[in-house]
Amino acid sequence: AFFTHVPDNLQIINLVVDIIFATDIVVTFNVAFTVPSALTNDLYERSPIKIARQYAGIPCTKACSAGWFWIDFLTIFPWDQVGCKSVRYLRIFRLLRMMRLVRIVKIFGRWHSRLGTSYSTLNVLKCAAITVGVLHWLTCFWGYLGWQARDSGETTWLKAYAAGHHEGIEGFTMYDVYNLAMYYCTMTLTGVGFGDVHASGMFEVALSTITMFTTGFMWAWVVANIVNVVGNLDAYSTWFQKLNDDLNMLMSSRDLPTHLQMRARK
């Protein structure tokens, strides 16, 4: 959202990630895929030629299981190095890299099958990753709103913050804007608002309302998942307590003597 030229440190990170995904593409050409069978259990196709045809076939065919090579290739193609001069088209090409999220899910699925991590840990990590991802996207959006209008006469949340702290907006770097936008989005997500960073103008107020609805549902989903994980940490204890509650209800409905109830509970 901010960079027209990616800094060197981020280029190194992108290069490492691209190498990992390129390696996974090569590995996928040697990974068997399932072939549904009505008579027996699902079979695995191990022929390298058929695996290559499946992986490099027409995208989104065969129930969206074929042709993923082309999508994976688009996510690692160096769009910044092909000589694209338009900043707008360059940002659109960079959005294609978001399709690698599908690839990340598949890679983590393989790791989970191999390592056998508990689903409780997996759910907590999934909540954390999705929350950070949504916050990052919202932060980029709000940061871009403030950054792109810094030289114009339009009033933005960034200018309002700078005026409230008696600072010049020209002193803010891209990292400062990202930090402030992340601060605002995190406050909106958790419902803890201090009022030092706020929307300015009717357009930003409308967007802030949409952000509140989005983060509100997001936070409710996170809390529900955490409560579910905590409640299932000791499944046997929960089952035992429910069994005792049912027993107490049954004994009370039958008017059993107290000493007999005590014996049953023991």
Report CA 159 to chain centroid distance, whole Å.
30
Query: According to the model, what pLDDT value does residue 87 have?
Result: 54
Q: What is the mean pLDDT of the chain?
A: 80
Separation CA 17–CA 103 (nearest Å)? 12
31 three-state secondary structure: coil
Strands (E), the chain: 33-35, 43-45
As given in the structure block, the two tokens for residue 220 are: 């409710």
pLDDT tens by residue, 203-258: 889 999 999 998 999 889 888 888 888 777 777 777 888 888 888 898 888 888 88
pLDDT tens by residue, 103-136: 677 767 767 667 777 777 788 888 888 899 899 8
pLDDT tens by residue, 245-262: 888 898 888 888 888 888
Helices (H), 37-173: 48-55, 68-76, 87-95, 100-115, 119-148, 157-164
Query: According to the model, what pLDDT value does residue 53 have?
Result: 87
pLDDT tens by residue, 20-34: 888 888 888 888 887
pTM: 0.65
The tokens 């695996």 sit on which residue? 51
